[in-house]
Amino acid sequence: MSGEANSPFVLTTVDQMTRWAQRNSLWPLTMGLACCAIEMMALVTPRFDAARFGAEVFRGSPRQADLMIVSGRVCHKMVPVVRQLYEQMAEPKWVMSMGACASSGGTFNNYAVVQGVDQVLPVDVYVPGCPPTPEAVLQALVALQERIASGAARGALPANARPQAVGARA
Ligand code: SF4
């Protein structure tokens, strides 16, 4: 958006306005897969207050959600469930891979666990750690918002672009 500070007018484009609205009203899906989900739940407590970023409205239905936080390891048995939930989510939609297990299988290098959720879903942002702190998840949320605002989030990414990792656990 642009305009003089004292002007009663704001000039922008529909595209910029849409991205502004999308970035400031992310609605995460209520979905927890393992221990990382406990840290994810802390996002909406007063201490971390995800409402500051417009992302506190965790939805019980995928049709009302546009952000999937994959919080925990993804077992192969869960892949059809996770994919169905993703497909039922509203467009446009984004995926955050939260924690070592979701991003790479973590310590579970075995036949039962998917070695990175990016094998089954398009991931927009990764959060390292075991578990990542709520602060790290908030940092990833802000990074995702910036990517949405700039048009660099999934859908506008060039084929060889890599999603960014943020906020390692201290
Ligand atoms: S990264 Fe750590 S906290 Fe998260 S699901 Fe794996 S073992 Fe649990």
* Alpha-carbon gap, residue 35 to 15, rounded angstroms: 38
DSSP 147-167: HHHHT-STTSS-TT--PEE--
Number of domains the chain is built from: 1
Q: How many residues does the chain have?
A: 170
Tokens of 68: 């999937």
Is residue 32 domain-resident?
A: yes
Is residue 107 domain-resident?
A: yes
Q: What is the mean pLDDT of the chain?
A: 88
For ligand 1, atom 4, the nearest C-alpha belongs to: 36
- Identity at 91, one-letter amino acid code: E
Residue 10 is predicted with a pLDDT of: 81
Residue 25 belongs to what domain range? 14-165
- Asked, as a colleague might, if the bond just before 46 is cis with ω within 30 of 0, I would say no
Is residue 141 domain-resident?
A: yes
Residue 152 DSSP class:
-
2 pLDDT band, cuts 50/70/90, is low
Q: Which residue has the higher pLDDT, 42 or 10?
A: 42
Is residue 170 domain-resident?
A: no
Mean pLDDT of 125-143: 97
CA of 34 to the centre of ligand 1 (A): 7
Residue 47 is predicted with a pLDDT of: 96
Q: Which residue has the tokens 């942002």?
A: 125
For ligand 1, atom 3, the nearest C-alpha belongs to: 131
Q: What is the CATH number of the domain that holds 79?
A: 3.40.50.12280
pLDDT, tens digit, 9 for 90 and up, residues 54-65 = 999 999 999 999
CA of 140 to the centre of ligand 1 (A): 17
